């Protein structure tokens, strides 16, 4: 496995647009609409299927699956586990987004169970990744109280459960299993306004599921999602005056960013592990 580059994430975006993968999102009530709009803008599509009767079956036909723990209850928790099992059985890549893990015991236990169900990728903020790995608890609600770089050891630890793991922040860190040990990259850039619009992190998980459906490796798919977000958010900030206009501009930018834009503007560097 080689380190992703701006060229390889550009190729992944071209594959995303060509194939328009269908994502099954089991996400929270706060983010469902925005996740769908982000996926449509980026070039994929979304189906919000999170009931116990259909979750496993749909995971078998989707291109990728997002399981997001933002607002879990007993019913959705069961659907999460069914969807994870259905995805693994069908060979469908799936993403675990452990929202709020560490601060609340019940969802932390749920996330720990889901992490044993062979997620293709785990994506969270630094505090969530650290807590899920059992290396600390600095979660502040759904926000991170840790620097993303501090989560790298935890992300590497989680590679015994997932093929690729990312911790997002001002700099995003993405690691994956390699032939000779862990391999990783950093993705720089982006906009601070992403933290002022709800559901952007959840939507990054959805976009990761879409990229995993078309990328040559989980490391490339996860990196491409982060790079697409970073470049689009920089463009959106330039064309907005605050959080409200940014949210609209961000959807426009996700749609307008081209493979050549990623080739030129994505800032991806190898990570020494």
pLDDT digits (tens, 9 = 90+) for 202-254: 999 999 999 999 999 999 999 999 999 999 999 999 999 999 999 999 999 99
| Architecture category of domain 13-169+197-226 in CATH | 3-Layer(aba) Sandwich (3.40)
Distance CA 114, CA 96 (A): 8
Residue 147, pLDDT score: 78
Which residue's entry shows tokens 């975006």?
13
pLDDT score, position 148: 79
Per-residue pLDDT tens for 66-105?
A: 999 999 999 999 999 999 999 999 999 999 999 999 889 9
What average pLDDT does range 250-270 have in this prediction? Answer: 98
pLDDT digits (tens, 9 = 90+) for 152-184: 999 999 999 999 999 999 999 999 999 999 999
The pTM (predicted TM-score) of the whole model is 0.95
User: pLDDT at position 144, please?
Assistant: 47
Q: How far apart are the first and last CA of the chain?
A: 15
The answer to whether the CB of 229 falls within 8 A of the CB of 151 is no
Q: What is the pLDDT of residue 125?
A: 94
Residues in contact with 273: Cβ distance below 8 Å, sequence separation at least 6, in sequence order? 152, 156, 175, 181, 182, 183, 184
Query: Concatenated DSSP letters for 42-84?
Result: HT-EEE---STTTHHHHHTTSSEEEEE-SS--HHHHHHHHHHH
Q: Do residues 92 and 21 lie in contact, with contact meaning Cβ atoms separated by under 8 Å? A: no
CA nearest to 141, candidates 67, 35, 70, 68: 70
Please give the torsion angle defined by the CA atoms of residues 137, 139, 145 and 146, in that order, rounded to the nearest 10 degrees. Answer: 50
Supply the pLDDT for residue 142: 46
Rounded to whole angstroms, the Cα distance separating 250 from 236 reads 5
Q: Rounded distance, CA 218 to CA 238, Å? A: 31
Q: What is the pLDDT of residues 111-146, one digit of tens each?
A: 999 999 999 999 999 999 999 999 876 554 444 456
**Whether the predicted pLDDT of 260 surpasses 90:** yes
């Amino acid at each position: 496995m080689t380190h992703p580059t701006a060229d390889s994430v550009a190729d992944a975006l071209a594959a995303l647009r060509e194939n328009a993968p269908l994502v099954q999102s089991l996400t929270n009530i706060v983010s469902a609409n925005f996740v769908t709009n982000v996926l449509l803008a980026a070039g994929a599509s979304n189906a919000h299927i999170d009931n116990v009767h259909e979750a496993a079956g749909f995971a078998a036909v989707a291109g990728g699956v997002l399981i997001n723990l933002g607002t879990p209850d007993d019913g959705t928790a069961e659907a999460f586990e069914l969807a994870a099992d259905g995805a693994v059985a069908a060979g469908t890549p799936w993403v675990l987004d452990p929202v709020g893990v560490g601060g609340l015991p019940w969802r932390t236990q749920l996330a720990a169970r889901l992490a044993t169900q062979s997620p293709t990728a785990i994506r969270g903020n630094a505090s969530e990744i650290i807590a899920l790995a059992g290396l600390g608890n600095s979660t502040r609600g759904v926000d991170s109280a840790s620097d993303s770089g501090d989560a790298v050891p935890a992300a590497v630890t989680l590679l015994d459960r997932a093929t690729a793991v990312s911790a997002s922040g001002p700099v995003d860190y993405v690691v994956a299993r390699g032939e000779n040990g862990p391999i990783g990259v950093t993705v720089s850039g982006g906009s601070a306004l992403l933290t002022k619009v709800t559901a952007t992190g959840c939507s990054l998980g959805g976009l990761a599921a879409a990229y995993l459906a078309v990328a040559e490796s989980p490391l490339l798919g996860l990196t491409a999602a982060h790079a697409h977000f970073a470049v689009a958010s920089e463009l959106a900030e330039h064309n907005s005056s605050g959080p409200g206009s940014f949210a609209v501009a961000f959807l426009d930018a996700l749609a307008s960013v081209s493979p050549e834009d990623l080739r030129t503007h994505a800032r991806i560097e190898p990570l020494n592990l």
